Copies of this chain bind each other. A is one copy, B any other.
Amino acid sequence: MGEATPQRVVTRTEGPTVVLLGAGRVATHLAPALVRAGVRIVQVWSRTEAAARCIAEPLGIPYTADLEEVAADADIYIACVADGALPCVAEKVVTMAGKRPLYLHTAGSIGMELWQQCGAERYGILYPLQTFSKERGVDMRRVSLFVEASDEEALECTEALAHALSDKVFRADSKRRARLHIAAVFACNFANAMYGAAHRLLDEEGIPFEVLMPLIDETAAKVHVLAPREAQTGPAVRGDKGVMQGHMEALAHDEELREIYALISNYIEKTRL
């Protein structure tokens, strides 16, 4: 049978084995993306067993909630844990698995020196610039991934892994990554907060948030072709004091949104020149 269908005999080039540490938002999206990319995840660890199972079971991967049980012989360890938990997790895992593996983390705001301090020799960062919610799938191929590593060989391994996941891989040192992270907070987290403010204002009048969708979509689509400065519209960029004054009065009931309105309008007015 094997001889009759030689075309079905796949010579599998075994790639590196990966242990995924963490079961939060990033891990939830990274695990299936890695599997789709043909990367062999040999284990998922999370402090919470239910969270680890939630990611690992559908993918048929072993999991554990005990750091002592983490496989010590994997080629790559990817830590996607909360920033505060990373030092502790890193130290335990390096102590167990030693100097040979490549250690990566996905947090944009923590330097890779952390791994060196734990005794690692090959380490780096795989920073996905995306907003991950557990409820919603993300096409990892369209996510910008920023990589950095301890040396050229580790960087090549990290880049190979990144390219297997995404079409948008960039090198970025910690200074650039820090800047990217802050920029992402503005472009994503703060933009979403503005959607949230709009939602709150419409809710009070019983107007469905959906009426804003074409506007939100167009606002995002516009900056694909125009710089945000050129795309800016509204009373502040027009210097329309009358409309702004009216809006400030209409926000008299909501001191928080009033303050935001004043500050951002002022920022737009100042930067339009």
Contacts and interface: CB of A to CB of B under 8 A. Distances in A.
Interface of A: 25, 82-84, 109, 129-133, 135-136, 138, 142-144, 168, 170, 172, 175-176, 178-202, 204-205, 207, 209, 211-220, 222-238, 240, 242-243, 246-247, 250-251, 256-257, 259-261, 263-264, 267-268, 270-271
Given A217-B220, A219-B188, A251 B205 contact: no
A260 to B, nearest CB: 6
B185 A247 contact: yes
Looking at A138, A209, A228, the one whose CB has the most chain B CB atoms below 10 A away is: A228
A192 B267 CA distance: 12
A179 B207 contact: yes
A183 B196 contact: no
B250 A260 contact: no
Contacts of A264: 190, 193, 260
A247 B207 contact: no
Given A185-B234, A196-B271, A214 B132 contact: no
A83 B219 contact: no
Given A129-B211, A176-B207, A260-B267, 5 more contacts: A179-B202, A183-B212, A187-B194, A188-B219, A189-B234
